[in-house]
Amino acid sequence: MKIIADSSASRTEWALVDGATVVEHAFTKGLNPFFHTRRDISHSIRLELPEAFFKRRWERIHFYGAGCTSPEKKKIVEASLVAQFKTPVTVESDLLGAARGLLINEAGIACILGSGSNSCYYDGRAIVKNVRSLGYILGDEGSAAYIGKRFLSDCLKDIAPAQLVNDFFEYINLSPDEIMSAIYDHSLPSNTLSVYSRFLMDKLDQDYVYRLVRHAIDAFFRRNVLQYDYEGKTVCFVGSNACAYSGVLTEVADSYNIKIKKIAPSSMPGLVKYHSTDR
């Protein structure tokens, strides 16, 4: 039996699997070695995971995580996992997890549109090209943080429609000064921006919201997907924003003559299938 974990900026999905069968399923907070120490990660694992995950030593843990991009960052996560589970661990990026979960052994372009965003060309075995995400300050086009940042700026500058702004302030129950503090005094501002963007998810019928979302997703295509040799390639998406705005996502893809094969809320079902054989 194995443990498979897929961690984004906001949450980590865990599956205890026996072959292709999920025996136990759980969620904890996101575990990113850029923002969490080894102790933070160990603390979260021990306190938030069900006891079933600690009953015995497992065959292996496959962990895919945001921020797991360099040997140094991978070692932080690996050390925490080994300390808690006493089990061999393999740590890879969340992007490789998305590619394996979406495409299994098929070549194609895998895209993440969740709290953050990222993309790659995957040859069926490994990532062979990646247009850098650059995070919520310089990139993350199309993500919840990207949309949240632009919407919040429009609210505070009185650019967004007045009624929408009033509804938003009532929704979050914070003053403009308190919002600024929540962003600039918070250790994970991208998560805060992502939470704020949820307010828009059921308001696509409003012209301002539709244009904001479409512009964000179009930016993701222009600045990421179109940088690959995409013509005739399989293109798949995973993530909360990809699912919430699947209609707009498909519209934008069609405008570039790109056909999306799959839009999935999670990489986990595909990762379970990928790891159901000895890998």
pLDDT at residue 278 in the model: 66
Q: In angstroms, rounded to a whole number, what is the distance separating the alpha carbons of residues 137 and 145?
A: 9
Q: In angstroms, rounded to a whole number, what is the distance separating the alpha carbons of residues 236 and 251?
A: 14
How confident is the prediction along the chain (279 residues), in pLDDT tens digits per residue? Answer: 999 999 987 899 999 999 899 999 999 999 999 888 899 999 999 999 999 999 888 999 999 998 898 999 999 999 999 999 999 999 999 999 999 999 999 999 999 999 899 999 999 999 999 999 988 889 899 999 999 999 999 999 999 999 999 999 999 999 999 999 989 987 778 888 999 999 999 999 999 999 999 999 999 999 999 999 999 999 999 999 999 999 999 999 999 999 999 999 999 999 999 999 766
- CATH number of the domain at 2-98+268-274, please? 3.30.420.40
| The residue to which tokens 């990222």 are assigned | 118
DSSP character string of 111-130? EEESSSEEEEEE-SSSEEE-
CB atoms within 10 A of CB 126: 10
pLDDT at residue 64 in the model: 97
Query: 52-65 as b/e, with b when 16 or more CB fall inside 10 Å?
Result: ebeeeebebbbbbb
Looking at the DSSP assignment, which residues form a beta bridge with residue 129?
Answer: 121
Give the 3-state secondary structure of residue 64: strand
Q: pLDDT per residue over 208-260, tens digit each?
A: 999 999 999 999 999 999 999 999 999 999 999 999 999 999 999 999 999 99
Task: Break the chain into its structural domains and give their ranges.
Answer: 2-98+268-274
Nearest Cα to 208, choosing from 133, 147, 272, 278?
147
User: Crossing angle for the helix pair 144-156 and 176-184, nearest 10 degrees?
Assistant: 140
Please state the pTM of the whole predicted model.
Answer: 0.90
Q: In angstroms, rounded to a whole number, what is the distance separating the alpha carbons of residues 110 and 4?
A: 19
